[in-house]
Chain A
Amino acid sequence: MSAPAKTHGLLAEFDTPADLMAAALKCRDAGYTKWDVYSPFPIHGMDDAMGLKKSLVGWFTFTGGCTGFTTGMTMIWFMNKFDYPLVVGGKPLFTPLYAFPVSYELTILLSAFGTLFGLAALCRLPKWYNPLFKNERFKRASNDKFFICIEAVDPKFGHAQETLQSAGAKIIETVED
């Protein structure tokens, strides 16, 4: 690590999504790994510009959904067929048909929870401390400005100032950790 331990990274500000996108392409091609782009809304095409892989949230959803469906079917089978069989209206004690609506709802319920927890886990949220929030300018990342931050832990951090300048950043600031 060449930079002093106190530095979190370099924060560069941009005015428009197009400038941000062009700069992100440069950072990606320069081979940075510990860096991120900040924008008040998701920008179409930015994932490719950053070279991000497809999000893994779907796997959490799938796991949740499978759990929900199995829980529903097992619960109903246990309650109505296994633990206390009781004939009602001459209907079968258990069939997946009448157990379906409840299992379907539980599939959706646990899929939704899986999605939420997957999102939180993949984004490492909730996160109670972020050095970027100490920067006054960065408050506009949720309003109308666009930022790139290259972190000091990146092996190529030595060239960061140069890259961001050539990418057309208006303002470049050092963020303390």
Chain B
Amino acid sequence: MAKIANASGGAEATGSRGHHAPPVLKVADAPRELERAPLVLNNRSLGWITDAVAGVCENPMPKWWWPAFILSAGTMGMMFSLLAYLVSTGTGVWGLNTSANWAWDITNFVFWIGIGHAGTLISAVLFLLRQKWRTSINRAAEAMTIFAVACAGIFPVFHTGRVWFALYPGYLIPMPNSNWIWPQFRSPLLWDVFAVSTYGTVSLLFWYVGLIPDLATLRDRAKTKLRKLGYGVFSLGWSNSNRHWSNYEKAYLILAGLSTPLVLSVHSIVSFDFAVSQVPGWHATIFPPYFVAGAIFSGFGMVLTLLIPMRSLFNLHDLITVRHVELMCKVLLATGSIVGYAYGMEFFIAWYGGSPYELWAFLRNRVADPFIFGPLFKVPTAPYWWAYWMMISCNVISPHLFWSRKLRTNVVFVWIVSIFVNIGMWFERFVIIVTSLHRDYLPSSWGYFTPSWVDVFTFVGSFGLFMTLFLLFIRFLPVIAISEVKGVTPQADPHHPLGGAKEHH
């Protein structure tokens, strides 16, 4: 950015040498350290940004799109068939047993809802913190949030088997049962219903408000009647008027301000489902912050898993840059460290708290592997030691690879690690839920949970739903927030030479 020497300062300087010399207006370059690295590479024009992003959903989809869509939709169909099988037969088609009454269903629920948190963090928290790099990833990340919440919602609705009771008499929406007894709000399970449904709704509203100007861009570029009508209706007649922008920016700021406490409350309340109970392994005060950090960790893992292929497949390298990948890796490192700390602290408190049941849940159900810790503490091998150590290796080791700049900037490597983060975070929820439940206070009801094929394929099918929605999103909506990205370029700044600023003004 050109820096203009201030006119009076210039006059004083020359004045000391003799007042005959006219004031010199010197244009000096800003020191390099003050110049921020551009967010859009190669100094692209405003029109280029529109063409690059709108082009993705205007041009025919690449060849892989249809096979990918058919595969995803088929997988999604499999999930709905299996859910129909569950409803028509009963929850016995899952591998649940008495003591492990929750297993893959609630694991999947917490896994998916956690994934969503990165989207809100990027769209709301980074917006409030004025992290301008978020603009090129927030749209896709928010889409991911909404689709993940849709996947998450399926499991609590279906895990009771008789889904129609979710609505009437409502265990999900507050309706009295046949004895006119209302649901009781002292239970965190009901808080969870409100938290998750509010989260889904507010994320959708926030996403839609962000989309309105971009839908107007697509409307103005639309060639066919159908596209004109579709984008026209959903853009609500947006005209890019500054009187509208003024209200829009305020509304966007408020929605970001609302989403921030919301996202922190959602996973806190999800953690209350466990922490408010008295089950050893669940009854821990560290749960709310630990769950929120884990959610952000897993969500950023999923954002990277989705966006790294997307930027290559659609040639968006100038918009989603290596710097973006690097910054997201730093978030993984930070949240992954919190998660690792929480694992350590949980184990420490299990011992330090002095409750034999708590220590049992940790040491004898989870930690004691047959090689090192079992022999060390002289306890028999824990039934789920493999799941616990799977979680530790994925979640504690992998984020710390990102201390290295070389590894952070290697996108293929980052993509592979992001998958390990996804796996590790699924195992975290499995470990918390199943290892705590499978041995309750009565040793006679101890059992080992093994998933049935229906469990496995319902979970796999939820990825089908997620990918189907994401592929449709790529097909029909702008994957990058066009107007927001334009707003962070120097061309958009009326005080920057690239924005048309004259040197004397």
Contacts and interface: CB of A to CB of B under 8 A. Distances in A.
Contact of B220 (A36, A43, A139): A139
A38 B242 contact: yes
A101 B242 CA distance: 38
B487 A105 contact: no
Interface residues of A, number: 72
B265 A105 contact: yes
Interface string A45-71: 111001010111110010000000000
B239 to A, nearest CB: 6
Given A52-B242, A79-B185, A80-B184, A40 B217 contact: yes
A50 B245 CA distance: 12
Contacts of A80: 182, 184-186
Interface string B242-259: 111111111100110010
A57 B500 contact: no
A79 B173 CA distance: 13
A120 B180 CA distance: 40
Contacts of A126: 236-237
A143 B181 contact: no
Interface string A1-39: 000000000000001111111101000000000001111
Main secondary structure of the interface of A (DSSP, over half): helix
A57 B45 contact: no
Interface stretch (B428-436, B463-471, B491-499): B491-499
Interface stretch (B7-15, B88-96, B195-203, B387-395): B195-203
Contact of B499 (A16, A118, A122, A143): A16
Contacts of B190: 102
A125 B236 contact: yes
A159 interface: no
A101 to B, nearest CB: 4
Nearest to B496: A18
Contacts of A116: 205, 209, 251
Nearest to A142: B217
Interface residues of B, number: 69
B194 interface: yes
B10 to A, nearest CB: 23
Contacts of A143: 46-47, 50, 217, 220-221
Given A18-B501, A109-B198, A115 B255 contact: yes
B46 A130 contact: no
A55 B247 contact: yes
Contacts of B221: 139, 143
B158 to A, nearest CB: 22
Contact of B195 (A75, A105, A111, A113): A105
A83 interface: yes
A16 B500 contact: yes
Contacts of B191: 101-102, 105
B300 interface: no
A40 B486 contact: yes
A84 B262 CA distance: 30
B155 interface: no
Nearest to A128: B237
Nearest to A123: B244
Interface string B196-216: 001001100110010001001
Contacts of B360: none
B184 A108 contact: no
A104 to B, nearest CB: 6
Contact of B494 (A17, A52, A106, A144): A17
B241 A101 contact: no
B186 A91 contact: yes
A125 B247 CA distance: 12
B181 A86 contact: yes
Given A126-B237, A132-B239, A41 B492 contact: yes
Contacts of B185: 76, 79-80, 98-99, 102
15 contacts: A17-B492, A18-B495, A37-B242, A38-B240, A40-B46, A50-B243, A101-B188, A101-B269, A105-B262, A113-B205, A119-B247, A119-B248, A123-B241, A130-B237, A142-B219
A-B interface, 3 closest residue pairs, ranked by CB to CB distance from nearest: A16-B500, A18-B500, A127-B237
